[in-house]
Amino acid sequence: METKPQLLYISPDSISPCPYQTRVIYKKADMESLMASIKENGILQPLTATRTADGYQLISGHRRLFAAKMLGLEKVPVVVMEKTNEQIAVLCAVENIHREDLNFFEQASAIKLLIDQLGLTQSEAGQKLSLSQPAVANKLRILAIDGALQQKIVRAQLTERHARALCRLPQEKQPAALEYITSHSLNVKETEKYIEKLLSPKEKRKKPVICIRDVRLFTNTITKAVKLMKTAGFAPQYVQNTTEDAVEYKIVIPLKREKDKTRTATQICDKAQTARG
């Protein structure tokens, strides 16, 4: 028969921390505010713990316990429950994923810890936490990001969706991508579009390589060009010399057409006759 929870006042030193708690760092400003509140009003919400052979093991209330020890309190209010290790692990994970003061990396770590400690599948963990298997998988996926980058993401106040987009990249490309995202203040949609572009870069078009094996293509082109110049009224001097190894061309192109030369000569004669007359 399960024992009903009891409200007891227990020495903080007799309560050991919960092994399933993922929060290890507390913000100084938050702790100072909590300590000031406890000093003024006491602990308004009791801690929860379970009995162990050596005393008590905390289930929830880690910040309150830490603050109480810092303030040197002799007793703290604790609701003592009879819980198995599995139940404690689930309670801690549930609390962590719903706490607003934990970032999404810490929440994901809580789920991973639950899975590792109890040997659960993602689907089983989801059932215990009232989450779908894809939701669990999405939260765990962001843990592939390097710890140092995780801290930068949190400091930049990016969202979990930013992190999920970033972890699609190979790890060696993530730092540069994160720098671009933060420096350009990209929102989620812009980040996803940017990551997609990195994953599918446009292939540079290669310049076509022309392979011509018959030199007659070039000689015919030259011959056609000379004919075109004659049609246009020019009179190019065209000499072709063929040797054993090559075909030599000498082309002299006049700057003026033949008609222009004839017109100029006629104009000169007309001027001369006018002068004599």
Looking at 187-191, 258-262, 271-275, which range is the least confident one?
Answer: 271-275
Per domain, the residue ranges of the chain are: 145-200, 230-267
Residues 42 and 65: their CA atoms lie apart, in Å, by 12
Phi, psi of 74 (to 5 degrees): -80, -35
Neighbouring C-beta atoms of residue 117, cutoff 10 Å: 16
Numbers of helices and strands, H then E, in the chain:
12, 7
Is the sign of the CA dihedral 215, 218, 224, 225 positive or negative?
Answer: negative
Looking at 95-99, 129-133, 244-248, 265-269, which range is the least confident one?
Answer: 265-269
User: Comparing 249 with 88, which gets the higher pLDDT?
Assistant: 88
Residue 226 has what pLDDT? 77
Residue 215 has what pLDDT? 66
Give the containing element (helix H, strand E) for 41: helix 28-41
HEC-encoded secondary structure of 211-235? CCCCCHHHHHHHHHHHHHHHHCCCC
Q: Taking residues 67-86, report their average pLDDT.
A: 92
Q: Taking residues 238-255, report their average pLDDT.
A: 78
Q: How far is CA 226 from CA 105, 212, 234, 269, in A?
A: 76, 22, 9, 31
pLDDT band at 173 (very low <50, low <70, confident <90, very high): very high
Give the CA-trace dihedral at 61, 88, 25, 13, to 10 degrees: 60
Q: Taking residues 151-177, report their average pLDDT.
A: 94
pLDDT in tens, 111-142: 898 899 888 999 999 998 888 999 999 999 99
User: Comparing 201 with 158, which gets the higher pLDDT?
Assistant: 158
pLDDT band at 76 (very low <50, low <70, confident <90, very high): very high
Residue 100 has what pLDDT? 63
Q: Taking residues 151-160, report their average pLDDT.
A: 94
Residue 9 has what pLDDT? 95
pLDDT in tens, 3-26: 688 899 999 999 998 887 776 567
Q: How far is CA 44 from CA 29, 33, 58, 62, 217, in A?
A: 20, 14, 17, 14, 95
pLDDT in tens, 212-229: 566 676 777 877 887 887
Output the average pLDDT for the chain: 84
Residue 184 has what pLDDT? 95
The H-assigned helical ranges of 58-212 are 62-71, 85-97, 104-118, 122-129, 133-141, 147-155, 160-166, 174-183, 188-199
User: Comparing 95 with 174, which gets the higher pLDDT?
Assistant: 174
Residues 216 and 222: their CA atoms lie apart, in Å, by 10
pLDDT in tens, 32-72: 999 999 999 999 899 999 998 888 999 888 889 999 999 99
CB of 145 closer than 8 Å to CB of 57: no
Angle of helix 28-41 versus helix 62-71 axis, rounded to 10? 70
Judged against a pLDDT cut of 90, whether residue 235 lies above it is answered with: no
